Structure 1
Amino acid sequence: MILSRIHFATLLIAISAASMPAAAQLTSKTGAVVTTPHVRAELVAHAPDGVTPGAQAWVGLQITHQPEWHTYWKNAGDSGLPTELTWTLPAGVSTGEIAWPVPEKIPVGNLANYGYENTVLLPVPLEVSTLYKPPMALAGGTPAMDVKLKASWLVCRKECIPEEGEFTLSLPLQGSTALHKAEFDAAQAAQPQPLAKPGGIEVNGNNLQVKLEGLPAAVQGKTLAFFPETPEVIRTAAVSGKDWTQSWQGGTWTATMPLADQRSASPTVMPVVVALAEADRQPGQPIAWRAEAPVAGTWPAVATPARAEVSPALQAALTANAANAAASASPADLPAQPTGTFAMALLGALLGGLLLNLMPCVFPILAIKVLGFARQAGNARAHRKAGLAYTGGVMLSFLALGGAMLALRAAGAQLGWGFQLQSPGVVAVLAGLFTLIGLNLVGVFEFGRAAPSSVCSAQAKHPLANDFLSGVLAVVIASPCTAPFMGVSLGFAIGLPAAQALLLFAALGLGLALPYLVAGFVPAIAYLLPKPGPWMGTLRRLLAFPMFATVAWLVWILGQQSGIDGAGTLLALLVCLAAIVWAFTLRGRTRLVIATVLVAFTAVLTGAIGRNILQVVEPARLAAAGTAEQRWQPWSAERVSELSGAGQPVFIDFTAAWCVTCQYNKKRTLADAEVLADFDAKKVAMLRADWTRRDPAITAALTALGRSGVPVYVLQAPGKAPVVLTEILGKDEVRAALAAL
């Protein structure tokens, strides 16, 4: 009897362990300061007249960046994510909006962002109404107000890292709080001054012409930096030449700039900021000015990418590694999906689940199902019940995994489909589970001899539990695979409300279970199965080898995550596990003595070297490009930006060691001599994004593509929209895409 039930707890441990995201990039602290490897963030205040109704008071988050790191302005530019502040205040106290200081333009390859380096203070006005009731002071103390802040920011250099912190600051209600007066004064001096006249903006074809009046005489004739508060309207990186011009006509400043290639907004009013260059700024004088300019003219139509192409956010995700904004957006922030589109996604999920039965990673489970059906040959009623139980296990498991992924993403974790196999602990547990199943199939032990009599009685009374648990096991091992139609549907699910997203996961589960559900209800199929007989013993032992092959695959995956020491440790512990199982099949005192010794030895060995399984080892990086033998390069935002800036096409392989489909495509298509010759002929740079372990940057790029798992293949060339190829990659498809460059 297969050990599905006795190891159900093991499955639950694997699923729950998978639900725990990797360690956060920072540890939030309760206090005024949070320090990460990249920034020092501090909640500060300035209340020169005390915190009383009607008095002017300010609070703010001061971020000090490590060299070369930066965070973002309210409009991050071509990529990035603004800093967000969420306040918890006493009743009668409120805050205004962030008074954003003037940013600087930060080049990112052939793109540009707006943000801050070094030290920046984001001030926020604190408003105390007459309804505020001060707390009673403790004996001998001074009454104080507690201000709590939860902040999140994206900090970037060559890579981008989402961080967050929780801050608490007690403000005395009596006397002044002016310790940070200089910082708040500097932030105030960096505020853009409002212009008396709103100016005007005119849309002229694919360009935008801006006219501002009323700028101080001392500014006239100077070159000004331009910062639109509305994102994704202009081509941010255009700074000179025919693409961008600025001039003065008396006291009127005029600038012409190109619209963004993938514009996402057509505003009727555009708030804009202009600022002096650093060299032209004078102490004590304004450095920037702001106007809310009305827009005249007709906006050109917004380009809509074809179905095989990617969303407009892809370019930012692939080149600046800052599309974490898309990954962290809540479903409420996303537009409603048309009913027809959702129906197509449901159909795609159903077909994807059906095709998942053809994926190699599902074969071991299918073999078990064939054996189970053969045992019940000729019993149509038993077939129907088994099909329903298996379907229930599959669908509930898909709903559990999908719900866990959606919940963790909503909580800020950067996860995608197959996330459970990104955890070395889960991989090790699954390897142990499949070792036990293989040992059972090969005849090392029987369920009745290894389990208590009460469990055996329960098994006899509830035989459908094995069918249900085989459905659970099928999902656990099949979930890392991505079949055709699955990638688009799962990526679509991320942007849907929870109820609709879970319907997609349920449709995916129904597709996986459908062949066995149909077989259970169509008597003709059941009668085709052979009658039970001695041949079943041979088949059972034969089916042990797919299980052991799965164990070998899982050990290889762990080696990619935790290194050779981790893989070796897992193999040693699996040998100990097999020995313990064998010991429990013995009789009398021998069983007790040998089993006790083996369990104790395994416990000591686990304590001594078990940490090797969970250790974090940087994945082996490919050597730097530059030789003819070095074809594949590791994916990074900076590398994509460099290649795009040099005008070179790029092919990106989003892959993972635990993705069987990825390995199949890698060996069958991406290693084909004709395909490689076409890559060379078109001078295409080949990058590989390895998602074997959790990587927020890769997760963000996948989310921007509308995908939540691997494999994903992207071909992009300067001046052309990136194209996403299918999950089951064919040589003809790749060659046709390359020929179109």
Structure 2
Amino acid sequence: MFSLLLRRLFTVAIFLIAAGPLFTRAEAQFLLKTPNAAGAGGATVTTPHVSAELVAHAPDGIGPGRPLQLGLLIRHQPDWHTYWLNPGDSGLPTQLQWQLPEGIDAGEIAWPVPRKIPLGQLANYGYEGEVLLPVPLTVSPAWRPGPLAQDATFQLHASWLVCRQECIPEEGRFTLQVPIQGTTALHAAAFRAAADAHPRPLPADGGSARVDGDALELRVAGLPAGWRGRDLELFAETPGVLRHAAAPEQSWDADGLWRARVPLSPERSEGPEPLPLVLAQSGAGVRVALPVTGGWPPLAPAAEVSPALAAALAANARDAAPAAAPVTPAPLAAWLAALAGALLGGLVLNLMPCVFPVLAIKVAGFARHGQDLRAQRLGGLAYAAGVVLSFLALGAGMLALRAAGEAVGWGFQLQSPAVVAALAALFTLIGLNLAGLFEFGSLLPSSLASLQARHPVLDAFLTGVLAVAVASPCTAPFMGASLGLTATLPAAQALAIFAALGLGLALPYGLAAWLPAVARALPRPGAWMDTLRRLLAFPMFATVVWLTWVLGQQVGIDGAAALLALLVLLALVVWTLTLRGGARALLAPLSIAAGLWLAWAWAPKLVQPAPTAVAVGAPAAQGAWQAWQPDLPAQLLGQGRAVFVDYTAAWCVTCQYNKQTTLADAEVLQDFAAKNVALLRADWTRRDPAITAALGELGRTGVPVYVLHAPGRAPVVFSEILGRAELRAALAAL
């Protein structure tokens, strides 16, 4: 009866494979809004470009009249920067939105003095390295913590634009618990440094600004004596007033009066009165608001677009379609080689650990039809049809998503935590059925319970569908190059490669079904079949363990625990449905209601991305693995170091096997250290367009992929089953 369960639930598996891109796209939108889910409940958010942390300074605890500051501590990756209050010719300032306890109010950001970041004929104002943006808080006498409260909770939603040559908008949510009593001074040095870098106020009566044609003449007195005779940096707090890239003409009078002439921006958008400026020298600054005389010149009139032109532009935007990516038919010899590689890859895929759970179902099928050669042959053909058609559907979905601009690769459906959780539930039900906890005949009407006898071919077809669902995350030898080629081929040639891959996976089972010797080698049906059936439940439960571990890598330990709890509830629901009489009438509705309520309450834990730890600011120790970043290999190669990149994923069993064998071998690690090879790990467990693009540049669409880069040499791409000997030989040749 276990195959009946497959018939009823494989529909769910087919839906999950088809819906995988939808889940993935929704999660990508969520990730774009919140780079790191730790921000939803923690004090740190880490992205590939910055590490942002909400920190506090409360030297005397929290209370009315006591000093209290919070701040966003941003640590930038090399060459990346965020922006000041006035970002300059481009960019956006960092913005903070607070959720504070009642009776506590936040002031404005006490911006440290920025630095000028030249961009050709333009200039920006911002921060590199590490910067703290402090905010003073005021605790009013109306603030009343609870009688048992020990901490005050502060929440922040921060958004920033981080740029190098390209710019990436990022944001995060932070939560920080600050003790009400006692001292919070862990980051006291950072707050002192930020206070020293904050420009001190300078009286406005010591200076003036006068508009003179297309320039502004400045006069400022009372500046620090140590600055006299030196050139100062000038930062206008109001955007779009001055030409940011232009260096002011500066001079000093004998009495310490600083004079400067600064060009006005030809695209000036404001004429502030007074004019707030920051003057700085060697990182220290003063702020002055200068009265403006002479009258601001009139602003340039804003350009207008006629209604007819606006309508035409809107119509063009609606009708415009993205240009299709160019495809080139492969030469016949190359295409036939790719077909052969896909066929061999599909054959080897039967030996991958991913396929072991389906092997259990295959063994049970042989046992059931071992003496019925006709049923066995029909089952073999149906299984092959299920495998090939599923590979074609999966390949067509991947190609369609790529044509729509999505960055996806082989195994993309298991990058969705929702799909992983649903497959874990599916295999739990299969395992419970094999173990004898329930029979569909006792839960369903007899017309449905007899489907197994009436439709054995459909049962075998859906078994092939499940084989593809669990085997597709694996990449066997000979598969990588063939799958990588599909990205550049016309649809017909690309789908033929997917069909060859499915044919290779189905071929051993199909041949065995058509060989009478296989049937003669099996014992006749008997009591041993029931024992075998219960034994085969354990590979299913082992698959559930693997899927739960994969989900834990994607969403964290809380998500994995939530999945396990929901699977226990699923087993409870199934058990209550096997009861009879009043026990079933009482317990089944209660268990179903509890399961539905907890599934609704815990579903967010199954899709929230886990925190991603990124090492910032310190080089990795020799022999230690570093997180891959798009520009890191080039940086390391520029330093004269060889680089080994492991493109991996938690759901890739082949990746985990190589990680525990060849990549953990003491001699291999010693060779890495002897050649001073930088070790980078590109984790593709969750969707990452940057990793997808890097794989595409290597002609690959899935993992595992292992690449050795060396200065002045072409990259060496190793086989999917990473051999210790081939890796050591490549290292010895460096």
TM-score when scaled to structure 2? 0.61
Question: 1: CA distance between counterparts of 2:337 and 2:89?
Answer: 48
Instruction: Tell whether 2:630 aligns with 1:644.
Output: no
Residue by residue over 1:24-66, the C-alpha shift from the partner in whole angstroms, topping out at 9 and shown as x without a partner, is 55999xxxxxxxx99xxxxxxxxxxxxxxxxxxxxxxxx9853
Question: 2: CA distance between counterparts of 1:429 and 1:410?
Answer: 27
Instruction: Tell whether 2:664 aligns with 1:657.
Output: no
2:716 to 714, 720, 723: 723
| Structure 1 residue aligned with 2:164 | 157
Question: 2: CA distance between counterparts of 1:680 and 1:634?
Answer: 18
- Greater shift in the superposed pair: 1-10 or 467-476: 1-10
**Pairwise CA distance, 1:394:** 0.6
Residue by residue over 1:393-422, the C-alpha shift from the partner in whole angstroms, topping out at 9 and shown as x without a partner, is 111111111111111111111110000110
Taking a change above 3 Å as real, the CA distance of residues 528 and 694 of structure 1, as seen in their structure-2 partners, is same
Taking a change above 3 Å as real, the CA distance of residues 732 and 630 of structure 1, as seen in their structure-2 partners, is closer
| Structure 2 residue aligned with 1:22 | 25
**Pairwise CA distance, 1:698:** 0.3
Residue by residue over 1:315-359, the C-alpha shift from the partner in whole angstroms, topping out at 9 and shown as x without a partner, is xxxxxxxxxxxxx99775243311110000001000000000000
| Structure 2 residue aligned with 1:686 | 679
Instruction: Tell whether 2:503 aligns with 1:479.
Output: no
8 Å Cα contact 1:331-1:496 kept in structure 2: no
| Structure 2 residue aligned with 1:415 | 408
Instruction: Tell whether 2:350 aligns with 1:357.
Output: yes
8 Å Cα contact 1:390-1:470 kept in structure 2: yes
8 Å Cα contact 2:650-2:685 kept in structure 1: yes
8 Å Cα contact 2:623-2:678 kept in structure 1: no
Instruction: Tell whether 2:381 aligns with 1:388.
Output: yes
Instruction: Tell whether 2:644 aligns with 1:619.
Output: no
2:359 to 348, 362, 366: 366
Which ranges of structure 1 fall in alignment gaps of 5 or more residues? 29-36, 39-62, 70-103, 107-113, 120-153, 164-276, 285-327
Question: 1: CA distance between counterparts of 2:424 and 2:580?
Answer: 28
* SS of equivalent to 2:644: strand
2:656 maps to amino acid: Q
8 Å Cα contact 1:482-1:727 kept in structure 2: yes
Taking a change above 3 Å as real, the CA distance of residues 569 and 634 of structure 1, as seen in their structure-2 partners, is same
Residue by residue over 1:491-525, the C-alpha shift from the partner in whole angstroms, topping out at 9 and shown as x without a partner, is 11111111111111111000000001111222222
Larger radius of gyration: 2
8 Å Cα contact 1:158-1:638 kept in structure 2: no
Question: 2: CA distance between counterparts of 1:591 and 1:105?
Answer: 74
1:566 to 559, 579, 587: 559
| Structure 2 residue aligned with 1:13 | 15
8 Å Cα contact 2:623-2:679 kept in structure 1: no
* SS of equivalent to 1:5: helix
2:598 maps to amino acid: L
**Pairwise CA distance, 1:641:** 2.8
1:66 maps to amino acid: G
| Structure 2 residue aligned with 1:548 | 541
**Pairwise CA distance, 1:474:** 0.6
| Structure 2 residue aligned with 1:397 | 390
Question: 2: CA distance between counterparts of 1:161 and 1:606?
Answer: 35
Instruction: Tell whether 2:341 aligns with 1:338.
Output: no
Question: 2: CA distance between counterparts of 1:420 and 1:331?
Answer: 24
- Listed as ranges, the matches of 1:404-443 within 5 Å are 404-443=397-436
* SS of equivalent to 1:7: helix
| Structure 2 residue aligned with 1:198 | none
Question: 1: CA distance between counterparts of 2:344 and 2:605?
Answer: 40
Question: 1: CA distance between counterparts of 2:649 and 2:169?
Answer: 22
**Pairwise CA distance, 1:611:** 1.2
Taking a change above 3 Å as real, the CA distance of residues 470 and 332 of structure 1, as seen in their structure-2 partners, is same
- Listed as ranges, the matches of 1:25-174 within 5 Å are 66=91, 157=164
**Pairwise CA distance, 1:160:** 7.7
Taking a change above 3 Å as real, the CA distance of residues 666 and 452 of structure 1, as seen in their structure-2 partners, is same
Instruction: Tell whether 2:482 aligns with 1:489.
Output: yes
**Pairwise CA distance, 1:610:** 2.1
Taking a change above 3 Å as real, the CA distance of residues 387 and 705 of structure 1, as seen in their structure-2 partners, is same
**Pairwise CA distance, 1:627:** 6.1
1:516 maps to amino acid: Y
Question: 2: CA distance between counterparts of 1:575 and 1:115?
Answer: 64
Which ranges of structure 2 fall in alignment gaps of 5 or more residues? 33-46, 49-87, 95-116, 126-160, 171-244, 248-262, 265-320
Question: 2: CA distance between counterparts of 1:105 and 1:738?
Answer: 42
8 Å Cα contact 1:440-1:446 kept in structure 2: yes
8 Å Cα contact 1:394-1:512 kept in structure 2: yes
**Pairwise CA distance, 1:559:** 0.4
Question: 2: CA distance between counterparts of 1:524 and 1:440?
Answer: 30
Taking a change above 3 Å as real, the CA distance of residues 614 and 65 of structure 1, as seen in their structure-2 partners, is farther
* SS of equivalent to 1:601: helix
**Pairwise CA distance, 1:453:** 2.1
**Pairwise CA distance, 1:105:** 11
Taking a change above 3 Å as real, the CA distance of residues 624 and 709 of structure 1, as seen in their structure-2 partners, is farther
Q: Percent identity?
A: 61
Taking a change above 3 Å as real, the CA distance of residues 491 and 65 of structure 1, as seen in their structure-2 partners, is farther
Taking a change above 3 Å as real, the CA distance of residues 329 and 374 of structure 1, as seen in their structure-2 partners, is farther
Taking a change above 3 Å as real, the CA distance of residues 18 and 514 of structure 1, as seen in their structure-2 partners, is same
Question: 2: CA distance between counterparts of 1:600 and 1:665?
Answer: 44
8 Å Cα contact 2:623-2:672 kept in structure 1: no
Taking a change above 3 Å as real, the CA distance of residues 572 and 632 of structure 1, as seen in their structure-2 partners, is same
| Structure 1 residue aligned with 2:288 | none
| Structure 2 residue aligned with 1:377 | 370
**Pairwise CA distance, 1:15:** 1.2
- Listed as ranges, the matches of 1:214-229 within 5 Å are none
8 Å Cα contact 2:341-2:479 kept in structure 1: yes
Question: 1: CA distance between counterparts of 2:13 and 2:439?
Answer: 20
**Pairwise CA distance, 1:454:** 2.3
8 Å Cα contact 1:161-1:696 kept in structure 2: no
Question: 1: CA distance between counterparts of 2:493 and 2:330?
Answer: 10
| Structure 2 residue aligned with 1:451 | 444
Instruction: Tell whether 2:518 aligns with 1:528.
Output: no
Taking a change above 3 Å as real, the CA distance of residues 105 and 627 of structure 1, as seen in their structure-2 partners, is closer
Taking a change above 3 Å as real, the CA distance of residues 410 and 536 of structure 1, as seen in their structure-2 partners, is same
8 Å Cα contact 1:428-1:554 kept in structure 2: yes
1:680 maps to amino acid: A
Taking a change above 3 Å as real, the CA distance of residues 470 and 630 of structure 1, as seen in their structure-2 partners, is same
**Pairwise CA distance, 1:530:** 1.9
8 Å Cα contact 1:330-1:410 kept in structure 2: no
Taking a change above 3 Å as real, the CA distance of residues 636 and 332 of structure 1, as seen in their structure-2 partners, is closer
**Pairwise CA distance, 1:155:** 10
Question: 2: CA distance between counterparts of 1:429 and 1:502?
Answer: 27
When the two chains are superposed, the root-mean-square deviation of aligned CA atoms in Å is: 3.3
- Greater shift in the superposed pair: 606-615 or 357-366: 606-615
1:698 to 680, 684, 691: 691
Question: 2: CA distance between counterparts of 1:450 and 1:394?
Answer: 29
State how many pairs are aligned. Answer: 477
- Greater shift in the superposed pair: 9-18 or 709-718: 9-18
* SS of equivalent to 1:610: helix
8 Å Cα contact 1:345-1:489 kept in structure 2: yes
Question: 2: CA distance between counterparts of 1:551 and 1:358?
Answer: 19
Taking a change above 3 Å as real, the CA distance of residues 592 and 349 of structure 1, as seen in their structure-2 partners, is same
